């Protein structure tokens, strides 16, 4: 909702951010929202309590902000890595980046 560092907020405020963002987006989109992205999303920005809140809110997975690939056997679907797409100059460069070239 307001993009805070979750670890810098109270549990009540974190819970409100996690749940309200889902319900607000679903109401506006008219579709289920199943994925969450932690604000800022680095190691100290969220914790296991936040992971539990995300799961309990009904999200099926969440992404953190560290770069990497999801691999077969990864068991933490509430802190998935992501592929970076920064510093691209053209759409072609962006496409190569997300295609893994």
How many separate domains does the chain show? 1
CB atoms within 10 A of CB 88: 14
67: in domain: yes
Check residue 62 and give its pLDDT.
96
Mean pLDDT of 40-57: 95
Residue 88 confidence class, pLDDT cut points 50, 70, 90: low
pLDDT digits 0-9 by tens, 49-72: 999 999 999 999 999 998 888 888
Q: The domain spanning residue 51 has which CATH number?
A: 3.20.20.370
Residue 86 confidence class, pLDDT cut points 50, 70, 90: low
**Domain housing 52:** 6-99
42: in domain: yes
4-27 b/e (C-beta count within 10 Å ≥ 16 → b): eebbebeeeebbebbbebbeeeee
Whole-model pTM: value is 0.81
pLDDT digits 0-9 by tens, 1-13: 899 999 999 999 9
79: in domain: yes
Angle at 37 between CA 24 and CA 85, to 5 degrees: 125
40: in domain: yes
């Amino acid at each position: 909702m307001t993009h805070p560092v979750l670890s810098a907020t109270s549990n009540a405020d974190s819970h409100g951010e996690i749940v309200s963002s889902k319900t607000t987006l679903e109401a506006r989109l008219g579709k289920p929202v199943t994925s969450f992205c932690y604000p800022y999303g680095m190691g100290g920005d969220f914790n296991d309590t936040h992971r539990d809140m995300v799961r309990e809110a009904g999200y099926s997975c969440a992404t953190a902000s560290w770069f990497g690939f999801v691999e077969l056997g990864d068991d933490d679907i509430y802190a998935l890595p992501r592929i970076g797409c920064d510093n691209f100059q053209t759409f072609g460069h962006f496409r190569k980046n997300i295609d893994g070239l």
